[in-house]
């Protein structure tokens, strides 16, 4: 007596579907974590609702005309001390 088994293509399709669902859930989770991290960095509750503007809608200047202060230049060019 032969037992019915799904075709290999069907198994591969189910596997691909399950992987896509997993990837989607992982991306949603990563987005929620990033949202909470950003809220915390801004000093607001991680459960606060806010929207972040898409980078495609930002007007980014072609050249930077403002100069950087010597203190800021020092801060970004000096490595942070290594704590032990």
Burial class (CB in 10 A: 0-12, 13-18, 19+), 42: exposed
Write the DSSP assignment of 29-66 as a string of letters. Answer: HHHHHHHHHHHHHHTS-TT-------GGG----SS--S
The radius of gyration of the chain from alpha carbons, rounded to an integer in Å, stands at: 24
Average pLDDT over residues 46-51: 86
Average pLDDT over residues 15-25: 96
Give the tokens for residue 25.
Answer: 């859930």
Give the pLDDT confidence of 25-37 residue by residue, as tens digits.
999 999 999 999 9
pLDDT recorded at residue 83? 64
Ranges of each domain in the chain: 1-47
pTM of the model: 0.54
């Amino acid at each position: 007596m032969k037992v019915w088994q799904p075709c290999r293509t069907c198994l591969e399709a189910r596997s691909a579907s399950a992987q896509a669902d997993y990837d989607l859930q992982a991306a949603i989770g990563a987005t929620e974590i990033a949202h909470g991290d950003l809220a915390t960095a801004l000093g607001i509750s991680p459960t606060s609702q806010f929207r972040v503007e898409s980078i495609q809608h930002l007007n980014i200047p072609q050249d930077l005309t403002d100069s950087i202060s010597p203190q800021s230049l020092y801060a970004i060019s000096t490595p942070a001390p290594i704590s032990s």
